[in-house]
Structure 1
């Protein structure tokens, strides 16, 4: 259960969503392998980001539709990794027009 601490949020991401430590560290912007119980004594911008991101990552993923989750992943690829619509369409084996339509209306494509 998520109790608001970074450790409990990380445990949910690892156990429930099967994310590895490297992926979680990238998502949170901090090295979770060095996080101890007294992380608040060394509070940083990265710790603040992790505390802001974890309620979304650990708590609301179940509350969103599969289309919204996939749309969020695609949005992340485009904005954080600067992948183009054309590249994502190629990886998904759909046309760029279909990818653009999906971004505008996630229900426009079936899985």
Structure 2
């Protein structure tokens, strides 16, 4: 198991993701409700961008469905696809064109952004 240090993550944020010291300090150390995650956890989130994007999108869709109660029909309408297309995408991410996947991703991430305070996510669970 690899040991993750804050210093290593900060170096990665600077070198790979081209973040300035000001931005890193704002994200990691500002006492604002948006940035309430511990600096090592936040730095780990920002440097561990090695997930499958399509699978992550499916997880967010399922969260909106399960935790808020948005129906697949509603989510599909926001994405301007049929309910059948959305359900098939959740089973098989290769079922849609890249253009449709892009549109779904943008619209679902917008919904997630505006609704994230209404359901539990990693970043807003109260202790």
Q: TM-score normalised to the size of structure 1? A: 0.48
Between Structure 1 and Structure 2, whose CA radius of gyration is higher? Answer: 2
